[in-house]
Structure 1
Amino acid sequence: MDREELLSTLKKLDEEVFAEFQDEIEEQRFTMSLIPTVNAESPFAAYLEGSILANVSTDYHGISRTGRFERMAVERALKCFHAEHAIVRLDSISAASRVVFKALLKSGNPVLSFNGRKQELCHGLSYRFSIFGADWENRDIDWKELDEQIARHQPKIVIFSPTSFPFAIDTKRLAKVTHEAGALLWIDIGQNVGLVAAGLMPSPVADADVVTFPTNDSLQGPEGAIILCKKELAETIERSVIDNGHSALHKNRLAALAVSLREASEPSFRLYGQQVIANARALSKALQENGIPIWGDGTDCHLVVAALPPDADPQKTEQKLHRAGFMIKTARLPDAERRPAHPVL
């Protein structure tokens, strides 16, 4: 059945779904998304995800059983990120995060997290979270606050996830501080993963004990996530994957992930990443020239954090820009208490 015949049959079968599908096509065709986590999937990955491979799932009853597509994805992830161990059969970053938590922590353990990241994924889990933040003036972590919080709370894990922070940090220093305190370092590179894969942002893989990231953001793959870790943690985290019900994934996603990782190693992907950074810096400069303050006065990546006026309504701002054809995300960062403004992410 060709595309036109398929769509015609779908319209007859389910007009409601067909209409919503057409509306989404129009939305994506005529709206520019400025939300870092909203990215188009690679055409190759999209084709494989929608292929007959969707009819076949892989099921595991032991750590050592893998299929060909999973082995490809693992090998390519190891090569792309120079990691010691990779786990790819995870359907979301939320699932990956809970796997890490349950593998490495016990109930009641203290956790120190940059801007409180990952705490939102701990529903039903009992950990004691404390927070450290950013030094926006120096485009860095607030190292003094980090030292104080480590001394006060003695965390088992320190988490750094730069979801709302557009600058590269010294992960070797972060690892040294963390390990000297007897804690593990977990870095979630989030939507920075594409730039890390392209070698355009420093990789934390050599320094962190665990690195996680979604595969459907800037990596432009299928929905899912990857956990990279040191060899000594591999068996513990692999066991947590199985014990927490993540032992199966359809082959279409694994195949789509494998091809996405191959694409991320191509020179064209690096050129694309360079243009993304150039565009972000041009946007940052233009906003500043038009009187809009930028947190940190620039960016090292794809993310621009612009401050709305204190009396602006974030939701109405989003709606107005959407009507003009632009999608943005607004949020109040934890740092907002130190600076009276609504950041636009």
Structure 2
Amino acid sequence: MSYDTVRETDPAVADALEGERARQNDTLAMIASENHVSEAVMEAQSSELTNKYAEGYPGERYYGGCEYADDVEQLAIDRAKELWGADHINVQPHSGSQANMGVYLGVLEPGDKILSLDLTHGGHLSHGHPANFAGQVYEVEQYEVDEETGYVDYEGLHEHAEEYEPDIIVSGYSAYPREVDFARIQEAADAVDAYHLADIAHITGLVAAGVHESPVGVADFVTGSTHKTIRAGRGGIIMCDDEYADDIDAAVFPGSQGGPLMHNVAGKAVGFKEALEPEFEAYAQQTVDNAVALGDRLKEHGLDLVSDGTDNHLVLVDLRPSHPDTTGKDVEAALEDAGIVLNANTVPGETRSAFNPSGIRAGTPGLTTRGFDEDDCREVADLIYDVVEAPHDDDVVAEVGERVDELTDEYPLYE
């Protein structure tokens, strides 16, 4: 992709764009919520649809000139239905967080009760953290994972729900390495006559490919991001039964958004088409296989994994048992210097600040998109361990960086 026209108009922005392209090409993206979309998705997102207001929905717009916007949005909807099997799908949310907002606005009143997983145990800000709108508008209590096993404490969740009597229970997480038993959470919701929102932001692609259990048809509402494991245009999505369709659509527009970002909806449509190809199922399975290989090798090195492994696209490492004086930020910074980009993360029973936590979270969606297999991910685990052992040793970091350079050359990303 060329930025020559941008450079003619704004060299400073062109420098930043070219720098970002080089950064992605020359580093290993292991932030679990990131991926690399195809050039077709990027081209769609840079289309003339960025110029078009299309408030409303296909066939029911508030502005004229929306015939092609209608075509693109309907394609995105139809393809999403084929991928996930929901009766009704809204593809307009600008993000996964705004998808969650759409559900809350659609079925809750201010002050209603949310029961969700604690952020330090793998939950998400939009599930009710006090710094987020959800925690400011609604009453929130949170359940936890079992600190010994790292798994969601389903029995504790059920008991908590009976005591708290929430209006909605939120499942789906941002740092949980195990498969979610949506049916058990639905049982807890049914027992207290609560809605169940399953936020599959991280695992949209894994669910679409059938390598993770689907909450569609189980939970009342399913939300997700469209740019993580599904590799489509950046944004969010809401899925529900037809009985909730009008409430959800009204909550998205005009409830929480104005005009949709039609260029992003075009990117969603293209990415969903790619995900309907047979090759995508192999990609999703490889993503999981790579995460398992990564985690197993880290364990061989003596690092502790939350829940002792993974069923999905990420591993969560608790540094405290093996490296009690090393923080997640120490490792994150040193790995970034070496060209491996992941993030520091809280772990269950966190004893440090969320700004400088005790764990690191590593994902394999981006590596798998580059073409990495299990052997490659085992080698990446070796490189990560070398840095964990000596995050302040410049020679070690430089040596790891040299190998990262070789791997990125071997598996090029964007030409």
- C-alpha distance in 1, partners of 2:252/2:230? 22
Paired residues for 1:6-155 under 5 Å: 7=4, 9-60=5-56, 64-65=60-61, 67-116=70-119, 117=124, 118-120=127-129, 121-122=132-133, 125-135=136-146, 140-155=151-166
Question: Of 317, 324, 336, which residue of structure 2 is paired with 1:322?
Answer: 336
Aligned to 1:198: 209
- C-alpha distance in 2, partners of 1:129/1:331? 22
Question: Of 241, 255, 260, which residue of structure 2 is paired with 1:230?
Answer: 241
C-alpha displacement at 1:233, in angstroms? 1.5
- C-alpha distance in 2, partners of 1:123/1:140? 25
Moved more, 112-121 or 36-45: 112-121
Contact 1:150–1:181 (CA<8 Å) still a contact in 2? yes
Contact 1:55–1:250 (CA<8 Å) still a contact in 2? no
C-alpha displacement at 1:139, in angstroms? 5.8
Contact 2:233–2:266 (CA<8 Å) still a contact in 1? no
C-alpha displacement at 1:344, in angstroms? 1.1
Aligned-residue sequence identity (percent) comes to 29
Contact 2:206–2:284 (CA<8 Å) still a contact in 1? yes
User: Root-mean-square deviation (CA), in Å?
Assistant: 2.3
Which SS does the other structure have where 2:142 is aligned?
Answer: strand
- C-alpha distance in 1, partners of 2:259/2:6? 30
Paired residues for 1:276-291 under 5 Å: 276-291=287-302
Gaps in structure 1 of 5+ consecutive residues: none
C-alpha displacement at 1:161, in angstroms? 1.9
Contact 1:140–1:169 (CA<8 Å) still a contact in 2? no
Which SS does the other structure have where 2:137 is aligned?
Answer: coil
C-alpha displacement at 1:12, in angstroms? 4.5
- C-alpha distance in 1, partners of 2:232/2:53? 18
- C-alpha distance in 1, partners of 2:272/2:58? 25
Give structure 1 regions of 4+ aligned residues with deviation exceeding 6 angstroms: none
Distance 1:14 1:130, change over 3 A: same
The TM-score normalised by the length of structure 1 is 0.91
Contact 1:10–1:18 (CA<8 Å) still a contact in 2? yes
Q: Which one-letter code corresponds to 2:337 in the other structure?
A: R
Paired residues for 1:149-168 under 5 Å: 149-168=160-179
Distance 1:125 1:244, change over 3 A: farther
Which SS does the other structure have where 2:106 is aligned?
Answer: helix
Which SS does the other structure have where 1:69 is aligned?
Answer: helix
C-alpha displacement at 1:254, in angstroms? 1.9
C-alpha displacement at 1:255, in angstroms? 1.9
- C-alpha distance in 2, partners of 1:335/1:204? 28
Moved more, 307-316 or 121-130: 121-130
Q: Which one-letter code corresponds to 2:329 in the other structure?
A: Q
Aligned to 2:378: none
Aligned to 2:358: 342
- C-alpha distance in 1, partners of 2:294/2:193? 42
Contact 1:89–1:247 (CA<8 Å) still a contact in 2? no
- C-alpha distance in 2, partners of 1:156/1:314? 36
Q: Which one-letter code corresponds to 1:246 in the other structure?
A: Q
Distance 1:28 1:265, change over 3 A: same
- C-alpha distance in 2, partners of 1:329/1:195? 21
- C-alpha distance in 1, partners of 2:292/2:147? 17
Paired residues for 1:303-314 under 5 Å: 303-308=314-319, 309-314=323-328
The TM-score normalised by the length of structure 2 is 0.76
Number of aligned residues? 339
Distance 1:155 1:306, change over 3 A: same
Contact 1:133–1:335 (CA<8 Å) still a contact in 2? no
- C-alpha distance in 2, partners of 1:147/1:124? 21
Q: Which one-letter code corresponds to 1:51 in the other structure?
A: S
The one-character-per-residue Cα deviations of 1:48-71 (angstroms, maximum 9, x if unpaired) are 111223222312289954812111
C-alpha displacement at 1:160, in angstroms? 0.8
Moved more, 115-124 or 231-240: 115-124
Q: Which one-letter code corresponds to 2:253 in the other structure?
A: I
C-alpha displacement at 1:251, in angstroms? 3.1
C-alpha displacement at 1:334, in angstroms? 4.6
- C-alpha distance in 2, partners of 1:189/1:53? 27
Moved more, 256-265 or 206-215: 256-265
- Answering whether residue 254 of structure 2 is matched by residue 258 of structure 1, we say no
- C-alpha distance in 2, partners of 1:204/1:114? 17
Distance 1:234 1:274, change over 3 A: same
Q: Which one-letter code corresponds to 2:295 in the other structure?
A: S
- C-alpha distance in 2, partners of 1:316/1:209? 41
Contact 1:41–1:220 (CA<8 Å) still a contact in 2? yes
The one-character-per-residue Cα deviations of 1:292-331 (angstroms, maximum 9, x if unpaired) are 1111111111111111133212222111001111011112
